[in-house]
Amino acid sequence: MPVTMDYQLKEQIPYDAAIFPISFFHDELASLPRWNGPLHWHPGFEIATAENGTLDYQVGEKHIILNAGDSILVNGNLLHGIRQISGNTADPLPNIVFSGSLIAPEGSQIYKKYIMPFQQCDDLPFVVFSSENENLKDLNNLIRDIYRCFRSQPPCYEMTVQRNVSCIFEYIYLNRNTLPRHKSNRIQLISQIRLQKMLDFIYRHYRGHISLKDLAGTANVSRSEVGRCFKAFMNCSPIEILIRHRLQTAYKMLGEGIYTIEEISNSCGFNSVNYFRRQFKNQYGITPSAFLKSIRHQNGTA
């Protein structure tokens, strides 16, 4: 399923916390332009695996390269995004998002002793499980077994999933003093909150004119701080993010095959259809007309 977010960039995870607080996803990158997932966040933990490509997994301001076979565990409530940087096909990117209550109830001693310390650890935003590290072979096998369970759902698969996740957290607890630390200072955490507010504003108002003054006001910062936040987290300017979001929205609308180029251009905030055509081709290497034609051909409506 595609990444679905609310206007605070919080991904909407479709699991019932009272029944089985975990969701399994796969093949999401294939549905995203240029196999590039947007920055988002969710309260739950996330485990993801690069299967056959090389991925740039961004967590906060940090970029982690995952090679085929590598997995990553991302802590909750952190901005993160994924971009595939090599491979001839979209990486399946199997991943799970889950609450710590999968292992034990939040008020329990197990939760307080083994889940909360990691959950509240500012200098462990993520843990990488490299496929080249023989000491992590068993953990990577546990992760792959979780994916297998969700795909085939054999008898008692929920118990296997819960057991495997518990083993992963047991490893983290036992190795907590030797795991690589990635300290995020208070300024970085504040910058992340500011960026969330500014991206929220862009995603709400992308159809109209947005100025630096607007973004500065929504995050209560100076115009120069607006640019610094975007540069630190996204390595580009706010206007580039605005245009990119407009183009991503246009890409999705074109994929539905029911709107005209003019309707999409106007709906996505482009004042000129010709400008929209140029920007779309620069971004995706194909004109909107050619892309729309291919979609309608696939749907049998050409």
**Residue 248: CATH number of its domain:** 1.10.10.60
Same domain for 31 and 99, yes or no, is yes
| Residue 41 and residue 164 in one domain | yes
Same domain, 154 and 204: no
The answer to whether residues 30 and 119 belong to one domain is: yes
pTM of the predicted protein model: 0.76
Residue 48 within any structural domain of the chain:
yes
Same domain, 162 and 258: no
With 60 as the cut, is the pLDDT of residue 3 above it? no
Per-residue pLDDT averaged across 272-277, rounded?
Answer: 96
Cα 131 to its chain centre, rounded Å, is 22
- Within a domain: residue 11? no
Query: Is residue 17 a part of any domain in this protein?
Result: no
Is the pLDDT score of 46 beyond 70? yes
Please report whether residue 15 resides in a domain: no
pLDDT for res 233: 86
Residue 135, domain member (yes or no): yes
What pLDDT score does 14 carry? 54
Same domain as 226, residue 271: yes
What pLDDT is recorded for position 7? Answer: 41
Residue scoring higher pLDDT (89 or 32)? 89
**143 within some domain:** yes
Is the pLDDT at 264 greater than 50? The verdict is yes
Domain contains 13: no
In a domain, 5, yes or no: no
**Same domain flag for 195 and 246:** yes
Total structural domains within the chain: 2
Q: Is the pLDDT of residue 32 over 80?
A: yes
Candidates 23, 19, 20; CA nearest to 45 is: 23
pLDDT of 129 higher than 80: yes
Q: Which of 151, 174, 197 is at the close of a domain?
A: 174
Q: Which domain holds residue 140?
A: 22-174
Q: Of 154, 174, 194, at which residue does a domain stop?
A: 174
